Chain A
């Protein structure tokens, strides 16, 4: 069946360092991947997305890398700030279905 999972459930980084959050997926039919950020007590918020015809996409301080060979994607946050502390979810979707499937999430803690 479909599954999207993360290698590390928690991650602590020093303020100013770069953060890398990893995600594995198992459905080869997935062709669209999204990263969401969920702050405490709030709903998830869209961060960045990437389609399967790309292997890298950059946003403001964030970069998503996609490796289709090993079914892996990562979210890189540059110069991590205290406001980046949150749970980060990867999600996947395929062209043949309308459902967006979420992984279990990684909790990022930024140490001042």
Chain B
């Protein structure tokens, strides 16, 4: 059971470039989330989804977009990368209903924008 898988693990972007961070889970979880973690800081919620076709903004959505066409996949898109988006990005998933607060995290994507 792979759990939550994120790709790539590391990426360096130039200012203004775009990229998609991939996230897939094989636990049939309805809820999926994207967080960013700046050095020495906690996790900030970017976007989340409660099911296929449904997405909603979190605490820091500006500069990002998401889609949820399937239960398994929840890609995060950066359209015009900026140095402020240098961070570690974590994807997570959880069950719906009771137990949805217990998040399962991927191993993260370390992104640098130079």
Contacts and interface: CB of A to CB of B under 8 A. Distances in A.
Given A98-B31, A100-B33, A102-B35, A49 B43 contact: no
Interface in A22-60: 32, 34, 36, 41-46, 49
Contacts of A103: 42
A93 B41 CA distance: 19
Nearest to A92: B101
Contacts of B77: none
Contact of A105 (B42, B45, B56, B59): B42
Nearest to A89: B42
Nearest to B96: A98
Interface residues of A, number: 23
B102 A43 contact: no
A1 B48 CA distance: 19
Given A89-B43, A104-B41, A46 B102 contact: yes
A34 B103 CA distance: 10
Nearest to A51: B101
B64 to A, nearest CB: 15
A22 B45 CA distance: 22
Interface of A: 4, 9, 32, 34, 36, 41-46, 49, 89, 91, 93, 98-105
15 contacts: A9-B40, A34-B102, A42-B107, A43-B108, A44-B43, A44-B90, A45-B105, A46-B103, A46-B104, A89-B42, A98-B48, A99-B45, A99-B59, A100-B103, A102-B45
